[in-house]
Structure 1
């Protein structure tokens, strides 16, 4: 019996038909970062984790991928990334030209890492770069358009914003529960913006509990997690408005399905998480103005829903602009 077969046998004894992520990455001959990216892009299907557990991969999924034409090169090519210098070389331009194209949104980062100076280094899918070069050859070889120069002179940099949009869209594509979808929209808002849209502290606590992890795999370094938390927050007015509106709409659907749990009340629904507990940012958003998620607390005049609205449906009956905090309620809204 080979080492791989023995490992499969031991793993199957713990969780029938599934293997942990580290073993799956080895069998697919992927580095751990490549494996995490493949899962994030939907190239590798994972099994939902039990509460407090870690997602696992079915052996059938590994066998399927190993049977694809060109394996392992074909799979590895789909998750190949390039930084600014390599991307510029691939496109045949100077790094400063590529940086300008990325800043105005011609290409969207798929990941990042921190260099030794703790500066963010954006990474781009090589497939995206080649597709852009085929689609916009004039931007590669021609003179920079006046509009591009104007945007760069004004300091436009859409890399973080486009990365956020790509990340949230990818996670939304796998999220079916309305509360989870609302949590993804909430993840882009700072604590003040979030509290303006979601007035109920128990709902904010629940959103933090069900928020999916940003990536599959091992937790990164402390500095990496802090950088992730900073980059996750929307910083442009129209981007903030977009997430506020979408959060409001997703909350309406979620409240219709079930209310957020409160002390002494169990809805019977326990969302499956795909990794460790909520990020430090999610917890810090709630520490100052809400009880710990799922823990009973003494009743207080400030806790619970506002007496002006029915319990379980905060904001019901009010206009959209009032609910996202862009208009004060009038007499008819009170």
Structure 2
């Protein structure tokens, strides 16, 4: 190994923190247990967390996020589990059109125009993207008198032109919703930066975060996306396209946000890096042993050239969508 990473010393304080974290597990529940206590399917519970309707906290023991017991009681003594279940009921195009009392074709047009925001997606066995929407939000949209002209009669010419040019804002709107979830759950400056970076491809992240040690640290906090097929499969590649920003203005906006988030994280908690050769050391067991050779950056991979990577993305299914500022 070419160098040692500077890490916090193991002290009585950190041992006490671990003990406290272990004790905290007694006042929190694993997601599967919390879902059972609330009488929800796991998919319903996960969506409630996604929407911020069930509060979670990080597991100090490193086992993912957990649900405080008092959060379970808050839901039970409030509107109750049945109300929570109804608030997260997600429907596809056919059921959504029935909720709004419109045809499936009109429903799809409204969704592609970005007027109906998907809350989730999955790939069916034919690798077709199935978008899901909150039933509550669809009812609210249909009940709003300002939307009456969109639900009946001919779609305005300007909107028809946009649809004819391939406009489909469903992936972008879903990404915006996902970013909101990730930022709500981020409990560390680098986690907030990683949430933004998770919607950009590696080329854009490398352009913005030029320090290899910061990129390596950023990857430690990168949220794990939901699996869609085996790695490298057509289904996984399609899901990756949906989860990666594709519109030029969206990319630039995220790049700017990433630069600001990394600057803020750097100011609060600089990324760890190898100890320079010759720096005095503390006794073994308290600090890392110093390297005998000059440290090297943690990365060896070379990101694909920007245009090559962008052209690859644009040739995909969602890369052919009409681009516009919004």
- Interval of TM-score (by shorter of Structure 1 and Structure 2): 0.7 to 0.9
* Structure 2 equivalent of residue 16 of structure 1: 26
2:150 maps to which of 114, 119, 139: 139
* Structure 1 equivalent of residue 177 of structure 2: 166
1:90 and 2:99 matched: yes
Q: Residue 19 and residue 250 in structure 1: after superposition, are their counterparts in 2 closer, same or farther (change >3 A)? A: closer
TM-aligned CA deviation for residue 52 of structure 1: 3.3
* Structure 1 equivalent of residue 12 of structure 2: none
TM-aligned CA deviation for residue 137 of structure 1: 1.7
**3-state DSSP class of the match of 1:15?**
helix
Contact 2:275–2:295 (CA under 8 A) maintained in structure 1: no
2:192 maps to which of 176, 181, 187: 181
* CA distance in structure 2 between the partners assigned to 1:304 and 1:81 by the alignment: 43
* Structure 2 equivalent of residue 53 of structure 1: 63
Q: What do residues 122-167 of structure 1 show as CA deviations (whole Å, max 9, x unaligned)?
A: 1001111112112312111132011110110000011001100111
TM-aligned CA deviation for residue 200 of structure 1: 1.3
1:72 maps to which of 59, 70, 81: 81
1:113 and 2:122 matched: yes
Length-normalised TM-score, structure 1: 0.71
TM-aligned CA deviation for residue 176 of structure 1: 4.8
Contact 1:87–1:129 (CA under 8 A) maintained in structure 2: yes
* CA distance in structure 2 between the partners assigned to 1:121 and 1:76 by the alignment: 21
Contact 1:200–1:304 (CA under 8 A) maintained in structure 2: no
For residues 176-215 of structure 1, the aligned pairs below 5 Å read 176-214=187-225
Structure 2: which 5+ residue stretches go unaligned?
Answer: 1-21, 277-290, 300-326
Q: What do residues 32-63 of structure 1 show as CA deviations (whole Å, max 9, x unaligned)?
A: 10000111111111221135313222222212
1:26 and 2:36 matched: yes
**3-state DSSP class of the match of 2:130?**
strand
* CA distance in structure 2 between the partners assigned to 1:120 and 1:247 by the alignment: 28
* Structure 2 equivalent of residue 38 of structure 1: 48
Contact 1:47–1:55 (CA under 8 A) maintained in structure 2: yes
Length-normalised TM-score, structure 2: 0.72
* CA distance in structure 1 between the partners assigned to 2:190 and 2:239 by the alignment: 22
TM-aligned CA deviation for residue 256 of structure 1: 1.4
1:155 and 2:163 matched: no
TM-aligned CA deviation for residue 86 of structure 1: 0.7
Contact 2:274–2:295 (CA under 8 A) maintained in structure 1: no
* Structure 2 equivalent of residue 288 of structure 1: none
* CA distance in structure 1 between the partners assigned to 2:240 and 2:66 by the alignment: 25
Of structures 1 and 2, the one scoring higher in RCO (CA 8 A, sep 6+) is 2
**3-state DSSP class of the match of 2:126?**
coil
**3-state DSSP class of the match of 1:56?**
strand
* CA distance in structure 1 between the partners assigned to 2:294 and 2:129 by the alignment: 44
Structure 1: which 5+ residue stretches go unaligned?
Answer: 1-11, 266-295, 306-334
Count of residue correspondences? 259
* Structure 2 equivalent of residue 269 of structure 1: none
Contact 1:263–1:297 (CA under 8 A) maintained in structure 2: no
